[in-house]
Structure 1
Amino acid sequence: MQYQGVLKKMPTENSEKIQYYLDMGSDFLNVNQLLNKTLDLSFVKYECLNCHLERPIYRQGFCKSCFFDTPRAGDWIMRPELSTAHLGKEDRDLEYEKEMQLQPHIVYLANSSNVKVGVTRKQQVPTRWIDQGAHEAIEIVEVPNRYLAGITEVALKEHVADKTNWRKMLKNDIEDVDLVDWQKKLRPYIPEEVQEYFIENNTETELHFPVHQYPEKPKSLNLVKQGSYTGKLVGIKGQYWIFEDQTVFNVRANEGLVVNISIQ
């Protein structure tokens, strides 16, 4: 079987084992069903996720022009504290920014390589945790807009990490921690205007990834530079495909690449 399409972040479904899917345009694959199969991957060309032109991808699946133009790549996405829609101030497209920013947001703790703080829209729970490869997570506060979530994250990351060590996450070099205890310890550092949104008596969510074999020394595949790759898929965690030879491929980091996938 052979498929060709532009890579986009894999949609997921939380069940006993997380289910992963790959939207290839005319085909929609359940990636879990490809486990223990040999895949041939090859780079075909670029296709910007915004203008759909064949231009080199700059960041987040967008060409350089679109990255600095589309509201889907505004600074407030990576830095929620820069959100201004609640003030009626436009960054790139006020209607889009109101739609995205003026909805319930969650500040959470997730444990993937270590305990980290993060922000996501409420409707993205638990998708955001899955994408980060977290095996456990807990919600700290639920606020009505992205700005309040952002200033909470800024305050808390003075006391807890805000980054994931992707190598450690993929090696499954992790330890279980008491996130309820972490939530309580961090409560005093939540900004005063957010204290009323603290979630009392919350419990952890556990997530289980479809991985048959974790890599001891994960090595990242650069498909553009290498051109093609063949390997046996043995796991999926976060947005990574894990292969038997310890090669790992970050699907999300390669959004905007048109690829051929051949399944042996």
Structure 2
Amino acid sequence: MLYTGVLTKMQTEFLDPIQYYLVFENDFIHMNQLLNKTISITKVGEQCLSCGLSRPIFRQGFCRTCFFEKPLAGDWIMRPELSTAHLNKEDRDLVFEKKIQLQPHIVYLANSSNVKVGVTRKSQVPTRWIDQGAHEAIEIVEVPNRYLAGITEVALKEHVADKTNWRNMLKNNLKDEDLMEWRDRLKIYIPEEVKPYVLEHNKETNINFPVEHYPKKPNSLNLSKVSTYSGQLVGIKGQYLLFEDERVFNIRSNEGLVVEIALA
């Protein structure tokens, strides 16, 4: 069977284990059903996720023009402390920015390769944690806009990591942490204007991924260098497909590629 479409990040269901779906314009693949099966992935083109044109992907699934012009690629996406919609100030499109920035946001602790702090819209819990490959996470602050979440993250990352080591996450070299204890330890560093929004009694969320076995030395698959790859799928974690030969393919970092996926 052959599927053709533009890669976007896999959609998920929060079940035990997580259920993954690769969704194309007119079809989808339930990826869990492909575990222990051989699949082939071939790059056949590129298509910007914003303008839909067949242009080289620059970053985040966007062509160069859209990356520097569209609001969804504004600096405040990666750096929420730069959000200005709460001040009625426009970056690229104030209507769009108000829609995204002026809604409840969560500051959280997640344990993927290590304990890290992060920010997401409340509507993206627990999807954000799943996409990061976290096996446990906890909300620590809920604020009414993205800016307040951003300044909280900036304050806390002086005392806890804000990045995931993707290799350690995929090797599953993890230990369980008491995230409630981490929350209590970090509370003193939360900005004064945010302290009324601290969540005192939340419990950890645990996440189980569909992985048969983990790679010892994960080797990233780059379809821009190797246009066709075939391998046996042995796991899915975060937005990565894990193969028997220890190749790993990050769907998220390859958004915008047009691919053919053949099932043996």
CA distance in structure 2 between the aligned counterparts of 1:261 and 1:212, rounded to whole angstroms: 21
SS of the equivalent of 1:164 reads: coil
Q: Which residue of 2 aligns with 1:204?
A: 204
1:248 aligns with 2:248: yes
**Alignment deviations for residues 111-148 of structure 1 (CA, whole Å, 9 cap, x no partner):** 00000000000000000000000000000100000000
Q: Which residue of 2 aligns with 1:90?
A: 90
CA distance in structure 2 between the aligned counterparts of 1:78 and 1:35, rounded to whole angstroms: 33
CA distance in structure 1 between the aligned counterparts of 2:157 and 2:91, rounded to whole angstroms: 25
Q: Which residue of 2 aligns with 1:4?
A: 4
CA distance in structure 2 between the aligned counterparts of 1:245 and 1:25, rounded to whole angstroms: 30
Q: CA RMSD in A?
A: 0.5
SS of the equivalent of 1:153 reads: helix
Percent identity reads 70
How far 1:92 moved relative to its partner?
0.4
Which consecutive unaligned segments of at least 5 residues does structure 2 have? Answer: none
CA distance in structure 2 between the aligned counterparts of 1:258 and 1:35, rounded to whole angstroms: 22
Which consecutive unaligned segments of at least 5 residues does structure 1 have? Answer: none
Query: 2:220 corresponds to which letter in structure 1?
Result: S
Q: Which residue of 2 aligns with 1:43?
A: 43
Q: Which residue of 2 aligns with 1:182?
A: 182
**Alignment deviations for residues 210-247 of structure 1 (CA, whole Å, 9 cap, x no partner):** 00010000000001211100000000000000000000
**Alignment deviations for residues 184-220 of structure 1 (CA, whole Å, 9 cap, x no partner):** 0000000000000000111100000000010000000
**Alignment deviations for residues 139-198 of structure 1 (CA, whole Å, 9 cap, x no partner):** 010000000000000000000000000000000000001000000000000000000000
Q: Which residue of 1 aligns with 2:232?
A: 232
How far 1:29 moved relative to its partner?
1.3
SS of the equivalent of 1:5 reads: strand
Count of aligned pairs between the two proteins = 264
CA distance in structure 1 between the aligned counterparts of 2:160 and 2:123, rounded to whole angstroms: 24
TM-score (norm 2): 0.99
Query: 2:89 corresponds to which letter in structure 1?
Result: K
How far 1:24 moved relative to its partner?
1.5
How far 1:28 moved relative to its partner?
1.2
CA distance in structure 2 between the aligned counterparts of 1:148 and 1:91, rounded to whole angstroms: 17
Q: Which residue of 2 aligns with 1:143?
A: 143
